[in-house]
Structure 1
């Protein structure tokens, strides 16, 4: 039979498309291989590749065999149906002679056992290939099962190690799903074949009257119900992740009703399979229908109705007494899952007021109070330090350094290259791939550093980096960061732009080895195909010594190496002692299979450990993984799967270990869980008698959730200042503060969680209560309102609650931003202590207003870095009126009122507030005179 030209063309197009797809896939695979070799993690690539495709091939072959076997079992019936079928006799009519010609065509002769086998084989191959995709990404569960590690803790119901639920159960569930789907699909194909071949002898309604179909489909049904029996067995373990009771995990109805139902259904399902098999010999197929129907009815009654009855009539009338043991399980295992059982609880006395001596004794804490929030600071950094349109500060990060012998908390940002901000004319292939290849430098300022103009006081700034401290940056080039999304080529015949210099530019050549060598002409062609970049192949600027820098965005680079880990949302840069810039990033091991533990996200993950600290060199892209929690069984399992990948934390360079910090994402999860799970008594927990909530604060004009914050302070009972992460707690439906949590980050104390609880009978101001006091203070609120109407806007920063000795100091910065220039300036600092609340241009002045002259700085020293000295127009203390008579006092009051109005019009808010204070003193004198 001749094929039409259209058919031949379509076949050719399909063949070419498939071939090009395979070539592209192969080129991409080769590129990945080269890249993994470059980053020295080829072992991970090989393990993932062999596991993924090995598993898919295995499953595809197994399914291919099952489909082919089942189809071959139908071949005899198909051939019998072919022989019994009538020949097909199409006819044709001659339009001129009105003659009808009958064409005798015996199609049965074309269906032979050999051809039928070929067709069945082709169908099985296609279905095996398609079915293999169902295990895509499941390789990690298989490898975790084969390399599992015991947790050393058993669940409270089945007494199985937690590792069974984390490693074994997901694997068993995978096998169950694969087998169940395979049986169902095979039954479907077999039924279709029998339906088609027997349609001439009865059709669909009579298919089960034919012996071959009955035996075949009955055998598949028996296998399915035997498998279903195992499925009910697995469902028993899933009860420990139930969310239908008083708490997460198996409750009273689950254990006393649903568990019993699953046990019974396990037996009934196995009996159903046996009945089906026996009936193959007894040929009483109606019993098979009864058995299946009975199992269906039993599953509805036992699995649905019975547990609901128990819940409604046994549990609900006496819920706590029924659920108490399971609530205790939930509390215990949730605390273990989030490492909350090791939280150290301490009392924090309330009612004590800070003194001037407390401030003087805690200068390290005062000097490190963060007056800059990342949001306004990022805008200010952008205006002052981006230098060119193509540079950007992606994020503002917080860290601490020993600078000139002082332990200081700083804020810093990397100056990265954003090629999208190049002018349209400059966005050429040469510029984007060969010239503008990297960012440059870093900006850093102390958290309390403020100039007299209200701008950050830089410790590192400009291009090239300039500093007056002992900090050094020897490698300011940023090839790997948070903005570097595209690939570039280095060591080409074209010089790279390094940084702007006067009226021109400075150029450089890459000296690292973090890229893929272009090498031969063939490799260049393959890379061009893999990147779908024909200009790479055609350009003469790229030679064999050039390098391809790929996956330069660290949030893409690291997960490509280790996709089985979860990652913190905030990697942060560190300047090493050698002057290099290295990114530090926290990684987590998580699972959603920890029995009885309350989930923390919408993927139902209910276990987390900060098991890995990793580093990424900003210049050459080197990635290193360090085990931060060697006790975690999941990271132990990953270490078995990928030997040599994870190094002990002790091998991390000492200068980087000094910058390790407790990760904020983990801390927020633990703090959120602790709002409920600090209650260990089941009765108290059930009634939510002591539920805490995460606090809120005011940012701008909106009330929003309060962020945890890093600070340097001396914890109660300690002697040295240390870097900690803090969040306060408030009671449910109240705004006062009930406790605060701290995570320690320094030295041997790293990772320790502390809870300081206030006496419940004492009032300790919460964040929103302080915000309310600010809004209700007549002087502060008037100044903010007026300031917000004069061509500028006021930005309220984060409210920080700083523990000092056994007391608290509240600090909130205010920023002024002009409508014409998006460059916020720090103009006021609000400080509250006890019943006093003040607003001054600097933190030192505010402390002086509350605690007295000279408290804001150490006597005999210069002002602390980042503070402003008072000017003549900004007296620090109100002048006490000396007038004695009522007339003199009235004149003085009138003068002070006019002075206050003049200062208000000139924008002198501190002077305005002080004039009002003086006016209040005069009015008090007038009242005394009147009496």
Structure 2
């Protein structure tokens, strides 16, 4: 083989190896960098959030670049100043710098850039790691609220103080490194200069003096910041959170002494550098600063003051600080505007079952328990095996011109319920792709009657005018796999007789799969080669993923805390999910934290709407007074819309979320005692009332009620929770939160007289069990072949006293469990009755109350209500078997 051929072969081999190397680099780059970037970019483009996505990517690096440049400039300028002082300082006559020393000096000066950059990067990295806090600091605005002790803006504590602490440490490191570097330069120059040619450099002394005084200034700044850290003091727990007499009258003065003595130490040290004073004064003030520092940090001194001065007279010493803690905690949880009212107790005998207002209220009593209702929806409205109802939601709708409280659930696709043999790639990703509408019932139902359905079946049908243009559900609460739609196979839609109705997606969700490159990238992204090899896609095909709305929202805005109960809304325009989101903070001054959650500030700042068909996510600012959401709004322009821009058909369904109400009531149960003396004694502490579930008692959870609470005759949607005195079972207060627009977010506390016995839910449960007629009926029902279930007790503040209603369900023992409302228990005062419907129970209750009243003889008697015949359990079972299917 000739040399020419050998050279050609070598060139070709080199070319191939180089090409393979370039290809390997490109593959690695695509694998580790570009795939996630492009897939997310396309996904955010589909949401109309391209600028938001790019800002989220760029902000951390912009922060890093900004602070790196800032600190680099500080380092470099100081090194250049030192170099300038050395290089241009007048030398003694006859001094000749050695050649090697000259080269070394130039080399060191050339290294200033690299050295300054490395040092700046080391200092900037911690800020880079806290980039989101840095952005909140830069974009944060005033809240208009001041802390009660120092009078500083609350936004200062939320945004500025954490960054000031971080910057103080970083700046201290910067100045200390600069001083060390500059001292080394001056020492090196002096050491390299022969003794006979050394001179005193005044410029070097001034430069060093500035750096020394800067270090002491930064140290003093750190101690000044410690003043505000006192507002997070925990030494006074469990009585109250925040500073007390010891912190504000002992430790705070020590901080001021530390600051002043440190500053004087720095000043006299500078004077020593210039040989104006000796070492005596700097040492004296330094010792004073050390003593003051130990005085504020050593527990022995503070504990002694607390033991012998504060504790014997704590109510006098700490009164103002207890009040500060109460006021700050109420403000931090949005409880400073709770409207307190006294519940007007009337005679229970004044209850009138024929009163139109009473009948109207009973029409919206939520007698179904959400947990029990889930199995009812699954069995009666699941229809196909692959549909499920992951959640049952409560809401209110206008039905035939009436304001009705309802339960509804989204009928979502659940691929795991397909037969195992049918769980193939085409079925999972191309055909069984979406759910079908909602099922809806009224909240109030009667026992022994067929269930009323406002919306039912597939496709969804309504005899009450509740129609919708689009009822397909591609995005919801179930963890759905990705779907490629439309496709040439078609998707399984509504049943059409014995055949399936094939449909094709016509929405804007997901990202297009319309090129070979996209199919390659998406196949690699999802680790699924079938995406690339399938021939069932077309030019309109789109891949829908992140179809769980919680996952979807958190991928967009991971900085929000989400409510645990997103809910579906049925509208004429389609189906939408509403997700409540919270902004939280753990550094609200003087406020007590919520249990072990770590935060002591929360706001329901955002309402998030997700289109169940297209997947579009929209953010609406629900609390413009919240400084945190205002900072995010400025940080990401156009991302958060005002709540006024929410479509009217959605706005009428927003509701006050249960999670934040639970948190608020946990705090309010203690902090409603705004009088410092009463708070100190905890004489009126409350707790969540006990509710019987089965044979056990549990703290009540908030639930929704429709009442004319604020304006007689005008029904409104409220979130409700009963509270009892701590350690007791009687009722102390009823808490309500408004949901309708004009009263949204307003919280009302209806208090009962402290000197009057008002039955609580646990006590009423005991009264029910003591009723011989009801107990006998329960014993007959709860026999072999049937299972008795008790719903959660509902409290209606009507008739001048709390009206208790508890549903009783019956279900057959066995694999198929369809609970049915059998009876409704109603109690007012000491009277307890049971009937098949609320209206019948109200009539029986009125009769029972009038019978027990002292004025029974004076009032026109009413005919006793028809007594309910006690039905043996076997007869009930036979009756159920012959009953037509719901």
- TM-score relative to the length of structure 2: 0.80
C-alpha spacing 1:546/1:276, structure 2 compared with 1 (3 Å):
farther
Taking the aligned partners of 2:330 and 2:829, their CA distance within structure 1 comes to 35
What CA deviation, in whole Å up to 9, does each residue of 1:551-582 have, x standing for no partner? Answer: 2211122233233333222111111133x111
Partner of 2:222: 231
Taking the aligned partners of 1:613 and 1:181, their CA distance within structure 2 comes to 43
What CA deviation, in whole Å up to 9, does each residue of 1:808-851 have, x standing for no partner? Answer: 21001122232432322222211111221122333333223222
Taking the aligned partners of 1:27 and 1:188, their CA distance within structure 2 comes to 46
Match of 2:866 among 857, 860, 877: 877
Taking the aligned partners of 1:22 and 1:224, their CA distance within structure 2 comes to 48
Q: Does 1:903 align with 2:872?
A: yes
Match of 2:46 among 38, 48, 55: 38
Q: Does 1:483 align with 2:478?
A: yes
Q: Contact 1:518 / 1:546 at 8 angstroms: preserved in 2?
A: yes
**Displacement of 1:499:** 3.9
C-alpha spacing 1:45/1:130, structure 2 compared with 1 (3 Å):
farther
Partner of 1:333: 328
Match of 1:564 among 555, 559, 563: 559
Taking the aligned partners of 1:189 and 1:909, their CA distance within structure 2 comes to 95
Match of 1:460 among 440, 452, 455: 455
C-alpha spacing 1:186/1:848, structure 2 compared with 1 (3 Å):
farther
What CA deviation, in whole Å up to 9, does each residue of 1:782-823 have, x standing for no partner? Answer: 443554442443222111100224332100112223243232
What CA deviation, in whole Å up to 9, does each residue of 1:202-236 have, x standing for no partner? Answer: xxxxxxxxxxxxxxx99999987654432222221
What CA deviation, in whole Å up to 9, does each residue of 1:261-303 have, x standing for no partner? Answer: 3323334555666788888899x99999999998666534322
C-alpha spacing 1:485/1:119, structure 2 compared with 1 (3 Å):
farther
Q: Structure 1: any 5+ residue segments left out of the alignment?
A: 1-11, 74-111, 191-216, 856-874, 880-898, 911-931
**Displacement of 1:155:** 1.9
Partner of 2:55: 47
Q: Does 1:715 align with 2:723?
A: no
C-alpha spacing 1:539/1:157, structure 2 compared with 1 (3 Å):
same
Partner of 1:693: 687
Taking the aligned partners of 1:268 and 1:503, their CA distance within structure 2 comes to 91
C-alpha spacing 1:435/1:308, structure 2 compared with 1 (3 Å):
same
Match of 1:323 among 308, 313, 318: 318
Taking the aligned partners of 2:234 and 2:375, their CA distance within structure 1 comes to 45
Structure 1 counterpart SS, 2:792: coil
**Displacement of 1:627:** 2.4
Taking the aligned partners of 1:405 and 1:115, their CA distance within structure 2 comes to 87
Q: Contact 2:265 / 2:283 at 8 angstroms: preserved in 1?
A: no
Alignment of 1:575-654 (within 5 A): 575-578=570-573, 580-654=574-648
**Displacement of 1:446:** 0.7
C-alpha spacing 1:238/1:718, structure 2 compared with 1 (3 Å):
farther
Q: Does 1:396 align with 2:404?
A: no
What CA deviation, in whole Å up to 9, does each residue of 1:498-530 have, x standing for no partner? Answer: 244454432211111122123433333333333
Alignment of 1:53-64 (within 5 A): 53-58=61-66
C-alpha spacing 1:356/1:299, structure 2 compared with 1 (3 Å):
same
Structure 2 counterpart SS, 1:594: coil
Q: Contact 1:814 / 1:826 at 8 angstroms: preserved in 2?
A: yes
What CA deviation, in whole Å up to 9, does each residue of 1:435-474 have, x standing for no partner? Answer: 2222122111111135636x64322111111221111133
Taking the aligned partners of 1:183 and 1:785, their CA distance within structure 2 comes to 82
Partner of 1:89: none
C-alpha spacing 1:490/1:141, structure 2 compared with 1 (3 Å):
same
Partner of 2:375: 379
What CA deviation, in whole Å up to 9, does each residue of 1:473-514 have, x standing for no partner? Answer: 331211111114433221233312224445443221111112
- TM-score relative to the length of structure 1: 0.77
Partner of 1:492: 487
**Displacement of 1:131:** 7.7
Alignment of 1:720-759 (within 5 A): 720-759=714-753
Taking the aligned partners of 2:223 and 2:30, their CA distance within structure 1 comes to 42
**Displacement of 1:317:** 1.5
Taking the aligned partners of 1:296 and 1:126, their CA distance within structure 2 comes to 34
**Displacement of 1:119:** 12
**Displacement of 1:762:** 1.8
Taking the aligned partners of 2:755 and 2:740, their CA distance within structure 1 comes to 34
Taking the aligned partners of 2:175 and 2:390, their CA distance within structure 1 comes to 53
Partner of 1:841: 836
Partner of 1:155: 147
Partner of 2:655: 661
Alignment of 1:178-193 (within 5 A): 178-179=170-171
Taking the aligned partners of 1:334 and 1:785, their CA distance within structure 2 comes to 49
Q: Contact 2:365 / 2:444 at 8 angstroms: preserved in 1?
A: yes
Q: Does 1:258 align with 2:254?
A: no
Q: Structure 2: any 5+ residue segments left out of the alignment?
A: 1-19, 82-103, 183-207, 851-863, 880-886
Higher mean Cα deviation, 732-741 or 64-73?
Answer: 64-73
Match of 1:761 among 743, 755, 763: 755
Match of 1:512 among 500, 507, 513: 507
Taking the aligned partners of 1:113 and 1:518, their CA distance within structure 2 comes to 62
Partner of 2:33: 25
Alignment of 1:147-546 (within 5 A): 147-179=139-171, 227-245=218-236, 246-269=239-262, 298-305=292-299, 306-353=301-348, 354-357=350-353, 359-450=355-446, 452=448, 456-546=451-541
Structure 2 counterpart SS, 1:615: strand
C-alpha spacing 1:769/1:178, structure 2 compared with 1 (3 Å):
farther
**Displacement of 1:749:** 2.5
Taking the aligned partners of 1:785 and 1:188, their CA distance within structure 2 comes to 87
- The size of the alignment, in residue pairs, is 799
Higher mean Cα deviation, 340-349 or 491-500?
Answer: 491-500
Taking the aligned partners of 2:752 and 2:159, their CA distance within structure 1 comes to 42
C-alpha spacing 1:386/1:113, structure 2 compared with 1 (3 Å):
farther
Taking the aligned partners of 1:177 and 1:775, their CA distance within structure 2 comes to 66
Taking the aligned partners of 1:64 and 1:147, their CA distance within structure 2 comes to 24
Taking the aligned partners of 2:824 and 2:280, their CA distance within structure 1 comes to 85
Partner of 1:555: 550
Taking the aligned partners of 2:409 and 2:873, their CA distance within structure 1 comes to 37
